[in-house]
Amino acid sequence: MQLDKGIQLLQVSSTIMGRTESIHPTLMWDEDNMILVDTTYPGQLPLLQEAILSTGFTIHNLTSIFITHQDLDHIGSLADVIQTCPSPVQVFSSSIEKPYIQGEKQLIKLTPEAITQAVNSMPESVPVEWRHAFRRTLENPPKTAVNSTIVPGEELPFCGGIVVVDTAGHTPGHLSFYHKTSQTLIAGDALNVVSGELQGPDPQYCHDYNMAKESLKNLLTYDIKKVICFHGGLYEGNCNRRISEICGL
């Protein structure tokens, strides 16, 4: 779905552990750059390629990838994308998330207990070899070098200006991005859309829920017309008012 000139919401849908799930990376572009914000689960490169093709571009047009945070559904196909592109692609993240993305630290939510729980929650119909493969992926997630670290408040000189926003809490170094030209917030997992309504971060998936809620106040600096959430997609209501409500203001 093209939201405005130079920005498009992508949808990648698949059946995971017996249920259909859609996630929403974002594509931004100008005359010289094409930027992908977040990728997909491991093994979903073909689905991501198809989603990008639907915009009239190909994955080979990518020049940069912005990563909001370390979770596997956001970085899972990052290495595959980099390997697929014929020209170098710059990877941007916060300095806090960088060592996790690069595989220097274990992803914070993939503790041994969490991995065992995830494997055990798979439907009984899943073959044993698939269970083993799933466990191996969680124990050894894909890793990729981060070329550039970015900091909250920084304005990146792409696509009419993209402002980096601190939305830590879902993970320690979670970032969101404000696309100035379209006044669109790319929220990652800092916000969610549920049944068409903008909602705050999901407590059960937050590293620090109180921090996640508090950091949402940083968004109120910006005049936001649209919000893209990785889970739930697009929200076009009165964004600033709704975010204020979520913050309890």
| CB neighbour list of residue 127: distance below 8 Å, 6 or more residues apart | none
Q: Compute the distance between CA of residue 239 and CA of residue 230 in angstroms, rounded to an integer.
A: 16
Q: What is the pLDDT of residue 240?
A: 98
Q: Which fold has domain 2-247?
A: Metallo-beta-lactamase; Chain A (3.60.15)
Q: What is the pLDDT of residue 19?
A: 73
CB of 21 within 8 A of CB of 1? no
Q: Which residues of the chain have pLDDT under 70?
A: 1-3, 16-18, 249
Q: Compute the distance between CA of residue 87 and CA of residue 45 in angstroms, rounded to an integer.
A: 17
Q: What is the pLDDT of residue 131?
A: 85
Q: What is the 3-state secondary structure (H, E, C) of the chain?
A: CEEECCEEECCEEEEECCEEEEECCEEEECCCCEEEECCCCCCCHHHHHHHHHCCCCCHHHCCEEECCCCCHHHHCCHHHHHHHCCCCCEEEECCCCHHHHCCCCCCCCCCHHHHHHHHHCCCCCCCHHHHHHHHHHHHCCCCCCCCEECCCCCEECCCCCEEEEECCCCCCCCEEEEECCCCEEEEECCCEEECCEEECCCHHHCCCHHHHHHHHHHHHHCCCCEEEECCCEEECCCHHHHHHHHHCC
Domain spans, the chain: 2-247
* Residue pLDDT, tens place only, 48-63: 999 999 999 999 999 9
Q: Compute the distance between CA of residue 102 and CA of residue 82 in angstroms, rounded to an integer.
A: 13
CB of 191 within 8 A of CB of 216? yes
Q: What is the pLDDT of residue 162?
A: 98
Q: Compute the distance between CA of residue 212 and CA of residue 147 in angstroms, rounded to an integer.
A: 26
Q: What is the pLDDT of residue 129?
A: 86
Q: What is the pLDDT of residue 156?
A: 98
Q: Compute the distance between CA of residue 167 and CA of residue 201 in angstroms, rounded to an integer.
A: 10
* Residue pLDDT, tens place only, 114-153: 899 888 888 887 888 888 888 998 989 999 999 999 999 9
Closest C-alpha among 1, 89, 84 to residue 45? 84
